[in-house]
Amino acid sequence: MEKITPFLWFNNQAEEAINFYVSIFKNSSIKEIIYHKNAGPQLNETIFTASFTLDGQEFMAINGGDYFKFSPAVSFYVNCYTQEEVDSLWEKLSEGGEEMMCGWVKDRYGITWQIVPSMLSSILKGGDDEIKSKVMKATLEMKKLEINKLLNAVNMK
Q: Which of 39, 69, 99 is the last residue in one of the domains?
A: 69
- Tell me which residue of 83, 154, 75 sits closest to 117, measured CA to CA: 83
**Residue 149 region by backbone torsions, left for phi larger than 0, else alpha for psi between -120 and 50, else beta:** alpha
Alpha-carbon 71 to chain mean position: 12
| Same domain assignment for residues 38 and 108 | no
Q: Which of 49, 69, 89 is the last residue in one of the domains?
A: 69
- 90: Cβ contacts below 8 Å, ≥ 6 apart: 99, 105, 115, 144
**Cβ neighbour number for residue 80 with a 10 Å cutoff:** 22
Domain that holds residue 54: 1-69
The pLDDT mean for the chain works out to: 91
For the stretch 119-153, pLDDT in tens is 998 888 877 889 899 999 999 999 999 999 999 98
For the stretch 23-70, pLDDT in tens is 999 999 999 998 877 655 555 567 889 999 999 999 999 988 889 999
If one counts the domains in the chain, the total is 2
| Same domain assignment for residues 84 and 145 | yes
Share of the chain above pLDDT 90, in %: 74
Instruction: Pick 88 or 42 by higher pLDDT.
Output: 88
| Same domain assignment for residues 87 and 62 | no
| Same domain assignment for residues 93 and 124 | yes
CB 86 within 8 A of CB 144: yes
